[in-house]
Amino acid sequence: RVIPGSHKVDPDSGRFDAAMFLRPDLSENKLLIEQAITVELNPGDVLFFHSRLFHAAGRNLSDETKLSVVFTYHQASNKPIKNTRSARFPSIVM
Kindly state the helix (H) or strand (E) to which residue 30 belongs, with its residue range: helix 27-33
d(CA 16, CA 39): 23
- Count up the domains in the chain and report the number: 1
- With cut-offs at 50, 70 and 90, classify the pLDDT of residue 89: confident
Asked whether the predicted pLDDT for residue 12 surpasses 80, the reply is: yes
* Domain containing residue 13: 1-94
Tell me if 15 sits within 8 A of 29, measured CB to CB: yes
Q: What is the mean pLDDT of residues 16-32?
A: 91
Q: What is the pLDDT, as a whole number, of residue 16?
A: 92
